[in-house]
Amino acid sequence: IGRQFSTSISKQNAIKNVTVIGGGLMGSGIAQVAAQAGQSVTLVDVSSDVLAKSQKSIGANLGRVAKKLYKDKPEDGEKFVAEALGRIKTATDPGEASKSADLIVEAIVENMDVKHKLFKQLDSAAPAHTILASNTSSLSINEIGSVVKRKDKFGGLHFFNPVPVMRLLEVVKGAETSEDTYKSMMEWGKAVGKTCITCKDTPGFVVNRLLVPYICEAMRLYERGDASARDIDIAMKLGAGYPMGPLELADYVGLDTNKFILDGWHKKFPDQPLFKPIPLLNKLVAEGKLGVKTGEGIYKYD
Ligand code: CAA
Ligand code: NAD
């Protein structure tokens, strides 16, 4: 059955050209895994400085992958990196970059108005067969897709940070996502090396609905002084087998992202105690202490 499913989709709707919008942390990872899998990628950002940085970090991360894959054949590793990089074009105009895309994955700032503006533009510029998908962490797929005409070809493709390492892809079915679109998204996820799960359009899908309240509970524990940050993190690593403790993970994801998700959910579900604001989180974000990316969050980084 798996083989039949895969053949029928690859014949009809095989995705070969991918446009990724947003060249930040997530977008560059998504571009990398697609290029590694042999696809033609166009990576788009409003800022050419960001694109230059993304290309650099993709090159470095491909190097880590090559080191593992071609341990004893460094020349083959270099070829692998050069070929994958060669499959990634960069651009600053999302409309132009949509014209040859079979799939467009949006990974821009987590803001509904900005995403609406972009998707309206993509919907009118992209060919009729193009699937449009959002990598949103916390916003509603139906709400993001409300501005496009091709609602049957709209859905969620939610990756995890760091994209090249985390093996999961959440494939989100919106209310009007067609079965064909859903199957193509699942098939594409597999083609770029991910294990896919299917989610409904509920807040945080599966992973973030569980992970964000867990991180927030850890912050509340720390804020109350019940244990030190280090001890909370050691506890979850050694007592529950997590690769990172919750506070390390909060800094890694970005405290601004954590706050943004929490605030959005609190506004929508004011009675849910797990979504209540956290004064410590608000204070750190107000001070610009956003975690690893700014050199300080709950912890300090060199
Ligand atoms: N690209 C390619 N490879 C990478 C990489 C990258 N960006 N980052 C790490 N790696 C590779 C390393 O080369 C290394 O490979 P080997 O073990 O084969 O040598 C491996 O990944 C482990 O890396 P490190 O040794 O540097 O570090 P680590 O063992 O501490 O692992 C980690 C780092 C993978 C990030 C691990 O700590 C981890 O899994 N942490 C939890 C991450 C997590 O929960 N992510 C989800 C966040 S929530 C989210 O993303 C959703 C959202 O919407 C907010
Ligand atoms: P980021 O800030 O690293 O990157 C966003 C990029 O989008 C920036 O480079 C910015 O210049 C660019 N951008 C903004 N508006 C644009 C536009 N209109 N057109 C083109 N480019 C534009 O953010 P990120 O962490 O990569 O997150 C991107 C998306 O992925 C968000 O929706 C976020 O919720 C989601 N996400 C984040 C994580 C995470 O751990 N950071 C995990 C999964 C999903």
13 three-state secondary structure: helix
pLDDT tens by residue, 246-259 = 999 999 999 999 99
pLDDT for position 131: 98
User: Which tokens is 50 given?
Assistant: 């960001």
pLDDT for position 14: 84
User: Which tokens is 44 given?
Assistant: 């788009």
| Residue 103 forms part of a structural domain | yes
| Residue 243 forms part of a structural domain | yes
- 223 and 190 inside one domain: no
| Residue 299 forms part of a structural domain | no
- 215 and 195 inside one domain: no
pLDDT for position 129: 97
| Residue 253 forms part of a structural domain | yes
- 6 and 35 inside one domain: yes
Q: Which ligand is nearest to the CA of 214?
A: 1
- 90 and 215 inside one domain: no
Predicted ipTM of the assembly? 0.95
pLDDT for position 228: 98
Q: Which atom of ligand 2 is nearest to the CA of 108?
A: 7
Determine whether the shortest distance from the Cβ of 210 to ligand 1 is under 6 A: no
Measured CA to CA, the distance from residue 281 to residue 258 in angstroms comes to 8
pLDDT for position 8: 45
CATH number at residue 261: 1.10.1040.10
- 158 and 9 inside one domain: yes
Give the domain range for residue 53: 2-200
pTM, 2 dp: 0.94
Determine whether the shortest distance from the Cβ of 44 to ligand 1 is under 6 A: no
Binding pocket residue ranges, ligand 2, CB within 6 Å: 21-27, 44-47, 50, 94, 107-110, 114, 118, 135-137, 159, 161, 253-254, 257
| Residue 205 forms part of a structural domain | no
- 174 and 224 inside one domain: no
Number of domains in the chain: 2
| Residue 265 forms part of a structural domain | yes
Q: Could you say which of 152, 173, 200 is where a domain stops?
A: 200
pLDDT tens, the chain, 302 aa long: 344 444 444 445 589 999 999 999 999 999 999 999 999 999 999 999 999 999 999 999 999 999 999 999 999 999 999 999 999 999 999 999 999 999 999 999 999 999 999 999 999 999 999 999 999 999 999 999 999 999 999 999 999 999 999 999 999 999 999 999 999 999 999 999 999 999 999 999 999 999 999 999 999 999 999 999 999 999 999 999 999 999 999 999 999 999 999 999 999 999 999 999 999 999 999 999 999 999 999 999 98
Distances from the Cα of 22 to the Cαs of 107, 221, 269, 285, 295, in angstroms?
Answer: 5, 35, 29, 23, 23
| Residue 22 forms part of a structural domain | yes
Ordered strands of the 154-158 beta sheet:
88-91, 40-44, 17-21, 103-106, 131-134, 154-158, 168-173, 195-200
pLDDT tens by residue, 87-117 = 999 999 999 999 999 999 999 999 999 999 9
- Token pair 């651009």 is found at 91
- 180 and 267 inside one domain: no
Distance (Å) from CA 31 to ligand 2 centroid = 13
Q: Could you say which of 136, 169, 200 is where a domain stops?
A: 200
Distance (Å) from CA 293 to ligand 2 centroid = 14
CATH number at residue 112: 3.40.50.720
| Residue 301 forms part of a structural domain | no
What's the one-letter identity of residue 55? Q
